[in-house]
A and B are shown apart, each in its own frame.
Chain A
C-alpha cells in the first residue's frame, strides 16, 4: 500500500526485535472472540487515479452549468489561487495545534494576525481563533453571555439565520437557558417594541444578525442601548463578513459571532468554514476557544504562544468555558491569507461591487410586474422580494433554465411563502442578473 513505508522484511525484523512471533501477538489483549476473522467489507483499494475518477464522477452529478442566486449564510466570492498555494504547504497543512511554541511559530503568528484582522473588521478588542462555524460561534457567544451575566433568558431575533437558531436551541435545552424569539418589523429589522416589552432584568443576551437573514442591516446602537438598559449583553451574528468592507463595524455589540466563510473559503456544501467570537478585553476570560498571545523568549525575542489556557477543557476539564478542542485553524489561516491579499482597498472594492450588483439586481427585478421589494431597510448583497406566486413553483421553472433560484423563505417562515431571498456577489455578472430577471419574468407569465 503506497502510504505505508515498510517492506515485508522490515515488518518481520521489527516483530523479531519485539520478540513477537506474529503480528497477532500484539493484539492478544483483545479477547479472541471479538477479533474480526474476515476483512472488512469496504470498497477499494483504489489507486490515486481511481480515487480522482470516483470523485470526478460524483462532482459531475452535482450542479455544474447552473447559475445560482443562493446566499443565506454561504456566499460565493472570488478566491485567489495564492490562498490555496499557501494553505497547502505541508508545514501548515500537516502541523498540529501549536502547543509546542518553539516549532510552531508560523501557525502562532498567523493566528495572532487573524485575531488582529478580526478585531479590525468587527471593531472589537479581542477575537479568538476559532469556533466551528457561525452557528456554533453564535451559540458559544450566548453561553459566554450567560456566564458573564449569570442570567438565563435569551432573546433572539427571528431574523437570525434559522439554522443558527436551531443550533442555539439544541445547546440551550440542557444548559437551563430559556430562548425566546422576537419578531421583525415591516422594515425587516428587529421589532424594537417587541424587544422592549420582552426585556427584563433577567435577560442575559439579545441576539441579532446584521445584515440579517432577510438581507437587511440592523441598526445596532439603539439595540445595544436597549439591551444595556436592562443589564443584558448584545450579541451580533455576522454571516456575510464581506459586508464589513463598506459597513460600520458592529462596535456597539458586546460579543460578535462571525462566520468567516466569505473570506476565501469555498462553499464546499456547507463546510468546513470558520466561526469567530470577538468581544471586549474585559470579557476575555469567559471567551471560549484558542487565543494566541505575544510574548518574549528567554533571550528577549518576540514570539507567540497559545495563552489563557486555563479557560480550556484540557486544563479545566468540567469547569472549562467550552468543550471545544480541535477547531478550524486551517480555515482561519485561509481567511488570514485571503484578507491580506485583498487588503484594505481590495476588501472595500469587493464590498462595493456586492452593494452595486445587489442594487442593480433589485432594480431589474422590480421592473417585473408583480415583483416587489419586501422590506425597506438598507441591505448589502442580499434582499427579499415578494413574488405574486409561490417561490417553490417559480424556482422549479428557473431550474429548467439552468438557474438555481433564490432561497425559499417559506420553509423557515410560514408567513413568507411568496418571499424569496436573492443573493448576488461580485462573482455574479450583469449578463447573469439580466438572464435571471428575464427568466423570472417568463416564469411569472406561465399559466398556473
Chain B
C-alpha cells in the first residue's frame, strides 16, 4: 500500500500541550522599555471596583517556548505551501510572499484610519487603483471595498437591492436562490429582511429558466445566482435570466465566489448581472490564514451606485482623494473604518503582478480542472456532464456500493499527502467530491493527485475497510465530533493534571 503513496512519507512530529500547561509564574517572553513618566497608582487613578492585579490564568512562558509552541502547532497543519489543496469553491491558490511584504511596510501597516486625509493619499491611491481594476475585471460601473468577507459582501449587495426597490416605492418580499447555492446566500437574505424561495435545478444542474419565468412575480426582489455554479458549470442562459428578472423589475445578484473561472475571459457586467461580490481571498489570492481575514468588495451597475455604503472614495480637485462619510441614499456603514485595508493591499499587489496576463491564470485553472476530470471520469461517477470550468464535481455513487463514502475517500486522500476536496457541498449532489485544483498546480502535482484518487478507488473496491478507517498517518485519527458537540469543552480550565493532558 505504501508504495502507491508517492507524494508523502511519515516523519517525526513533536508533541505539544496547551500553552497554559507550560506556564510557570515569573517567566516572560516580552519586555517593555522602562516607563519614562511617573508611575500611576492604579488605586488612585482607577476606582477600587475597576481594578485587577493581572489576568488570572494568563500564560507565563519564555520567548523560546512561544516560538517552539506555535512552530510545533504549525507542523500539524496542511497548507498550500505543502501541496495541492483542492477544496472546491474555496480557490486555494498560491499566496505570493511579496503581498505579505508590502502589506507590512512602514507607511502602509502603520497608518491610522482617522489620520488627516492629506496624510493618507498613498492609502487612498491604493484603494482607487484597486477599485478601477475590479471594475475593469467585472465590467461593472461602481464598487465598494468595505465588506470584510464574501458573506458581508452578499449582505451589502442585498441591502443595495433593497434600498433600490424602496426608492422605487416597494422593497419587495422575496429573494430567489437556487438549491445549488452556498449556505451563506440564504442566511444573508434573511438578515436583509427577505424571505428565501429555493429554485430546484433542472436535470443538467442549471437554473430551470422556464420555472424561473413563473417564479418571478412582482414580489421578487432579486435572484442570487452563482456563476459558474457550485457544480463548476457556466450558466449559459444567464443573459436570458437577467432579462426575465429585469422585465419584472427584479435584479440579478451574482455570487462571485467562482470568479476564478471567468477573470479575463468574460465579465459579469456584460452578462446582465446588476450586482456581485468578489472574494479577494479566493480569486485574488489573499491568504486564507486558517479562516480569514478576507475581503468581499461589491461591484454594481449605475442604478445601485447612490446606495453604496459609506465611506465613499471620491476624487477632488487636482487629483486629491478623500473618503466621504455622508451620502443621503447610502445603506449606511457595514463595517468600521475603511474595509479590511491590509487585505485590499495584498489583492492589488496580486493584480499588478499579473496585469492583463491574469487571463492565463484563469486558463490554467480551467485546464487543470478539466485534466483531472478527464483522468477520473469513469473511476468516479460524474452526475452532471456539462463542461466543467474551474472545478469538477463527482459523486461517490460507485464507491458507495462497497460502503465507502466521499468523506472516507477524502480522509484517505490525507494519507496520500493531499488536503481533501470539498465533501459536504453542493447539496444537490449526494456524496459530492468537489475538486478545484486552481492554476497553482503543476502537471506533476495534478498527476500525483490523479494517481492517488485512482489508487483510492481501487482500495475502495478491494479493501474498503482501509479507506473507511483513514487517515492512518496523521497525529490524530478521526475525532469524536458528536461528543464534542454534546458536551462542549470550549476553553482550558486549570485543574489537577489528568493522564490525557500529558499527550
Residue interface bits A1-34, CB-to-B below 8 A is 1, else 0: 1111110001101110111100100111111001
A41, B356: Cβ atoms under 8 Å? yes
Taking A19-B374, A360-B38 as contacts, is the C-beta distance between A54 and B352 under 8 angstroms? Answer: yes
CB contacts (< 8 Å) of B200 on chain A: these are none
A107, B484: Cβ atoms under 8 Å? no
Besides the known contacts A43-B133, A268-B342, 15 further A-B residue pairs in the complex with CB atoms under 8 A apart: A30-B266, A34-B267, A93-B79, A96-B291, A103-B474, A111-B290, A116-B18, A173-B332, A268-B341, A269-B337, A295-B489, A297-B479, A308-B485, A344-B58, A399-B119
B191, A174: Cβ atoms under 8 Å? yes
A325, B96: Cβ atoms under 8 Å? no
B476, A6: Cβ atoms under 8 Å? no
Q: What is the bound-complex CA distance between A87 and B67, given in angstroms? A: 11
B492, A356: Cβ atoms under 8 Å? no
User: Nearest chain-A residue to B133 (Cβ)?
Assistant: A42
- A391, CB-defined interface residue at 8 Å: no
Q: What is the bound-complex CA distance between A55 and B129, given in angstroms? A: 12
B488, A94: Cβ atoms under 8 Å? no
Which residue in A61, A270, A313 is a CB contact (below 8 Å) of B336?
A: A270
B108, A295: Cβ atoms under 8 Å? no
Residue interface bits B28-71, CB-to-A below 8 A is 1, else 0: 11111101111110100111011111111111110100110111
Which residue in A28, A312, A320, A343 is a CB contact (below 8 Å) of B30?
A: A343
User: Nearest chain-B residue to A411 (Cβ)?
Assistant: B325
Taking A27-B265, A45-B355, A246-B51 as contacts, is the C-beta distance between A352 and B40 under 8 angstroms? Answer: yes
The winner among A74, A86, A246, A357 for most chain B CB atoms within 10 A is A246
Please give the distance in Å from A77's CB to the nearest CB on chain B. Answer: 10
Give residues of chain B (465-487) contacting chain A, Cβ–Cβ below 8 Å: 471, 474-481, 483-485
Give residues of chain B (281-330) contacting chain A, Cβ–Cβ below 8 Å: 281, 287-294, 309-310
CB contacts (< 8 Å) of A356 on chain B: these are 35, 37-40
CB contacts (< 8 Å) of B239 on chain A: these are 31, 34
CB contacts (< 8 Å) of A360 on chain B: these are 37-38, 40
List 23 A-B pairs, Cβ < 8 Å. Answer: A5-B445, A34-B271, A40-B359, A44-B352, A62-B110, A63-B115, A73-B337, A84-B104, A91-B79, A92-B289, A94-B85, A98-B77, A100-B78, A101-B479, A113-B492, A290-B291, A296-B480, A300-B500, A301-B477, A326-B279, A329-B292, A341-B66, A345-B26
B54, A245: Cβ atoms under 8 Å? yes
CB contacts (< 8 Å) of B103 on chain A: these are 268
B76, A14: Cβ atoms under 8 Å? no
Give residues of chain A (63-86) contacting chain B, Cβ–Cβ below 8 Å: 63-64, 66, 68, 70, 72-74, 76, 78, 80, 82, 84-86
Taking A272-B342, A326-B292 as contacts, is the C-beta distance between A103 and B78 under 8 angstroms? Answer: yes
- A417, CB-defined interface residue at 8 Å: no
Q: What is the bound-complex CA distance between A58 and B407, given in angstroms? A: 47
Please give the distance in Å from B292's CB to the nearest CB on chain A. Answer: 4
User: Nearest chain-A residue to B13 (Cβ)?
Assistant: A105
A28, B387: Cβ atoms under 8 Å? yes
Of A126-134, A151-159, A195-203, A226-234, the stretch lying at the interface with chain B is: A126-134
Of B209-217, B245-253, B364-372, B453-461, the stretch lying at the interface with chain A is: B364-372
CB contacts (< 8 Å) of B419 on chain A: these are 96, 100, 103
Give residues of chain B (347-377) contacting chain A, Cβ–Cβ below 8 Å: 349, 351-361, 363-364, 366-368, 370-371, 374-375
Q: What is the bound-complex CA distance between A74 and B114, given in angstroms? A: 9
A170, B309: Cβ atoms under 8 Å? yes
A86, B110: Cβ atoms under 8 Å? no
A82, B234: Cβ atoms under 8 Å? no
